[in-house]
Amino acid sequence: MKPALRRGWRDLNTVQFGMSPAHALTLGPVDTATGSFLDLLNGTRGLDLLGEEARRMGLPDGHVDALVRRLARAGLLDDARGGGPAADALRARSEVMDRLRPDLASLSLTTSEPGEAIGRVAARRSLRVLVRGAGRVGAMVASLLSAAGVGEVDVRDVGRVQPWDVAPGGLPPEAVGDRRDEAARRAARRCAPDRPPRRGPRSPRGQDSAGHSLVIVAPRDDVAVHAPSFAAAESLIASGTPHLYAGVVEATGVVGPFVLPGETACAGCLEEGRTDRDPAWPRLVAQWRSGTGRTHEVRPCDLTLATTVAGLAAAHALAFLDGRIPSTAGARWEVSLPGLSWHSRPVWAHPACGCGAADKGEGEHPSEDAVSHETMAEQRPSRKSRRKAGTQRPAGTRRAHV
């Protein structure tokens, strides 16, 4: 049984696995003997031994197999030896495992197949991610991904670390004066639970997007955060590299859109949509951009807001790297000080954008009905995941609304 789910009896014959509504399930009816038998499913016994114990407890033949099948279908079982060769290699490194144990337990809640969670954690090691921008947000995202087990986290930026770039979890105070990109790479490496995998001949440094599973675009320049340019992402669109925007503009934190090139809305779609809604948008952006670089003032970037944005961006990045489409696909999540309530704004694929996402799929064209867009954008991903979860749940197990 997945130890991450706390167990409790709702009544004499119904067990609840998990506490929080997002992942809790109930199982019933379960008789008392079967209930006691559940305690034995802790990964220390194989099926043969479990069969013997069941006979000793007076449970009928075949009961164990049926129960195990039922629990597996409900996504409640893990496999202490599953996950494939990469997972075996990870298990053998106990100091690395100990670092990642809470993350692994968390993944066990969002995966259904036995052994799937450790398989995904192990797979992170072979991934390459590039972070563009090593300010407060970018450096922290790089460190978070590295700490979560992503094998290769590269960082691109220019210039040298300034005192105001320093942030807990990002660039350390002793890096002030060092090259930004090198300092951020070093900081990320220091957070890694394991030594970096050996760089193969096919992963040369220097090519911007080649071979990266994901690129995080986290500019220090707040105009680039607020109005990301299609031109800056063209190479990512052309190479089909998934990318995610994140940053702080004034007192607002932004995460998204997550872009699957040619499939979900990109920076160009965002720009076209804004121009449709506000004819003054291009004029404003041109003025903001022309001011960039000329001003030497330090731009606003609240430390806690930057940390919040980095955390959410890294979480969306990991969701994708672990095989899901994050809810920032087709949306931007925004949070502003001092209220700090997150909300998502839909970003629709635009037919005038060269990325081609508007030609794909249903309902992606922008319309006047912003309210229904908002609702749809919020429901789209969750509806999909609910449906998926529903198919994995057999009769007898129910989502717990508690």
Q: Would you put residue 152 in left (φ > 0), alpha (ψ -120 to 50) or beta?
A: beta
Q: Report in angstroms the alpha-carbon separations of 145 from 37, 131, 162.
A: 39, 10, 23
Give me the helix-helix angle, 85-92 and 94-110, nearest 10°: 130
- In single-letter form, the type of residue at position 233 comes to A
Task: Look at strands 152-156 and 214-217 and give their pairing.
Answer: unpaired
Residue 63 makes CB contacts below 8 A (sequence gap 6+) with 34, 54
User: 46 or 282, CB closer to Zn ion?
Assistant: 282
Task: Give the Cα separation of 139 and 74 in Å (integer).
Answer: 39
Closer residue to Zn ion in complex, CB, 65/359? 359
- CA 39/CA 57 separation, integer angstroms: 12
Closest to Zn ion by CB, 242 or 268: 268
Smaller CB distance to Zn ion: residue 254 or 349?
A: 349
Instruction: Give the residue with the Cβ less far from Zn ion, 35 or 356.
Output: 356
Q: By C-beta, is 184 or 266 nearer to Zn ion? A: 266
Q: Kindly state the smallest distance separating residue 225's Cβ from Zn ion, in Å.
A: 18
Minimum Å distance from CB 355 to Zn ion? 3
Three-state DSSP at 92 gives helix
CB 128 to Zn ion: min, Å: 24
Beta carbon of residue 154, minimum distance to Zn ion (angstroms, whole number) = 25
Kindly list the residues in this chain that would bind Zn ion in the complex (CB under 5 A): 266, 268-269, 353, 355
How many C-beta neighbours within 10 Å does residue 217 have? 23
CB 135 within 8 A of CB 301: yes
Q: How far is the CB of 363 from Zn ion (least distance, A)?
A: 16
Question: How far apart are CB 142 and Zn ion at their closest, in Å?
Answer: 26
Minimum Å distance from CB 345 to Zn ion?
Answer: 16
- Give the integer Cα–Cα distance in Å for 237 and 260: 8
Beta bridge partners of 58: none
Q: Which residues pair with 360 in a beta bridge?
A: none
Task: Considering the complex, state which of residue 151 and residue 273 has its C-beta at the smaller distance from Zn ion.
Answer: 273
